[in-house]
Amino acid sequence: MRPGQRNASIASVAPQPLTRSHSIQMADWIYGSIAAIATGALLFALVPHQMYFHDEGQYAQGAERILLGELPHRDFHEMYTGGLAYLNALVFQVAGHRLDMLRYALVLLAIPVSVVSYHLLRGLKLSPWAACVLTVALFSTSLGTMHAPWANSYLMLFTLLAIAALLQDAKSPHLGWVLAAGICCGLAIAVKVTGLYTLAAIGLSLTYRGDPASPQVYPDLDFRPLSGAVWIERLWRGALALLMIALAVVLIRQHLSIHSFMYFVLPIAFAALTLVSSGGRLSWSMFGRYAVLGFGTAFPIALLLTPWLLEGAIQDFWHGVFELPRLRIGTTYYPPPPATGLLIAIPTVCCFLPIRHPWAPGVRITGLLILTSLMLYGLGDKSPSGFHTDGLLTAMSAWRWVLPIISAITCVVLTRSPQAPLSHRVGLYCLTICAACFSLNQYPFAQPIYFFFCVPLVILAAVALSLFDPSLPETTAAPGPRAMVHTGTGAVIVLAAFCLLRFGIDGTYGEFFESVGQRRQVYLSGIAVPAVYASGYNRLRELADEVLSEDQTVLAGPDCPHIYFLTGRRNPTPYMYDIFVTDPEYFSQLIELAHSDQVGMVIISRAPEFSPVWPQELVLKIAEAFSYAEEFERFIVLTKRAPASRP
């Protein structure tokens, strides 16, 4: 060996300094873990807060009926596809019949999804600290606000997983990612049939992505004659776009107005226009990718259909999943916010503007200050009107009308940026179309609470728009202009704080609890409720145990699915809510049940949540079979045997 010459074998094993990629990976591990731990800690801490009696009672009753051998859609009215009912039944079987167990199951799924969400944000070229903060804020504004194990909560989580899989395919094309996206879509549909909106959005994103083997873009500004193949591509994209817009219009046709069109259809229309005007090239191999997506979607649905196939009850499944929901649309409707909210949403949009001019930071900071003022206004207005206070509606409009605006801006940005890396364009388009389609879950009951499930997707679309820069190369890790990152993150933090203080901690009806002097000190099925509510439901349970034999049950209504779970008695009818009953002989059936030996106690709600109160003639005919009556809180209780105790 010559002097000064190094041994190659020694050099190969010499310690190497950490590269920038190693530092980034380590930072992702640290910040991703922090995001998961913080999200899990927050959601676990909020589990005991705020019981939603009707909804959680409905979930619990469906789970118990499955454990008793009943089949959803055949033996009882299941409000959703059926997958969530089987999941809840499994949770009850493993962890016990407590409502908080259903919430813990949701949190256990949310924690790994938070990790996926963190990496999804990092894929948008967001810095690690900002991605960590935004991840915690995303779940604070959704699951941290609505604690119950809602079907829409699971739908949101599976949608986030489908988006993450598709965006990973956009970066490193592989059919495995398309298959994973399809499986997530199938799981979403298995929870709620509106998971079809997620499937449609993922399919359109695949079309926008185009053939991975042909990443070239359309000559959008070139007026030379196009080839026949390109014309076919244009027609295919145009047909899909028109179909999507038409389906959205048909969905809301019963309540079509200028407000509903702008709120529900306009974001989809802008995304459809973007699909036609830009995107990757298509080829016949795309149909193979569609087939893989369809196969992945069909797999969970096929597993779910097994009980109905074995029982020969597919017709009942079809009727419960597709026909009854159409009838329910006409019975429950809450209009979207008025279109004047577009003006209120402008300050929020300013926080995410993808403009790089000297005056842009000032506009973003001004928007953030105005948005903070609106949130404080909503936070301070605690008049006992639930969701209908002026302050609350104004604060919510600042976010609820963001999606139509950013959809329009996204359409313009993507159409004018054909030279941008395709993976960047696919990320922005996918998040926008998924948010637009997912917002349809608010129809037909567009109360503010249902927007909370859409918030994470709206925020992701806004963040992707704010960080979109056509000049950035494919592999850059630049987090974007500092002022843009700070104002966008600040806007989300303000929303998260507003949601937690107004809904998550105090609860949706916290102002009512305070007005009657009740604090959350009494636990019912693992969840803290006002003492006045807990004493009432405990009294119902005591009465049921005193006057009913083991083979007798109660008859409760209208809209009392939670009564059966809280009293530990079986529902003798197949219905959850009276408002959704289509049988003209329903009242006759109630009278017959009340006069039978099967029912020994009737609980009548004087203030049902959705349905009208029972007619007086119906109550009188039911009362003929009972000898004792007791009235307290919101209920009239009729019993055939005299109770041993009095409240």
Q: Which residues pair with 280 in a beta bridge?
A: 217
Confidence category of residue 71, pLDDT binned at 50, 70, 90: very high
Mean pLDDT of 157-163: 97
In this structure, what DSSP letter does residue 445 have? B
Tens digits of residue pLDDT in 147-159: 889 999 999 999 9
Q: Which one of 231-240, 257-266, 415-424 scores highest in mean pLDDT?
A: 257-266
Q: How far is 316 from 348, CA to CA, in rounded Å?
A: 46
pLDDT at 280: 62
Q: What is the pLDDT of residues 329-380, one digit of tens each?
A: 777 788 898 888 899 999 999 999 887 777 778 888 999 999 999 999 888 7
Q: pLDDT tens digits, residue range 108-145?
A: 999 999 999 999 999 888 888 889 999 999 999 999 88
Please, which pLDDT band fits residue 480 given cuts at 50, 70 and 90? very low
- Asked whether residue 554 carries a pLDDT value surpassing 60, the answer given is yes
Longest dimension (CA), the chain: 112
State the Cα angle at 570 between 567 and 573, rounded to 5°. Answer: 125
Q: According to the model, what pLDDT value does residue 607 have?
A: 86
Mean of pLDDT over the chain:
85
pLDDT of residue 513: 38
Candidates 288, 289, 199, 278; CA nearest to 238 is: 278
Closest CA to 490 of 469, 463, 465: 463
Per-residue confidence (pLDDT) for residue 250, from 0 to 100: 93
pLDDT for 294: 96
Percent share of the chain, pLDDT over 70: 85
- Per-residue pLDDT at 503: 79
From 5-19, 388-402, 465-479, the region with the lowest mean pLDDT: 5-19
In Å, how far are 370, 372, 400, 469 from 346, measured between CA atoms? 10, 13, 11, 21
Q: Are 100 and 52 in contact (CB under 8 A)?
A: no
What's the confidence (pLDDT) of residue 42? 94
pLDDT of the residue at 511: 39
Q: What is the pLDDT of residue 219?
A: 39
Tokens read off for 95:
């962890």
Gyration radius of the chain over CA positions: 27
- Residue 184 CA to residue 356 CA, distance in Å, equals 37
Residue range 604-611: average pLDDT? 88
Which of 30-44, 160-174, 225-239 shows the lowest mean pLDDT across its residues? 225-239
Quickly state the pLDDT bin for 267 (edges 50, 70, 90).
very high
CA atoms lying within 13 Å on the CB side of residue 216: 6
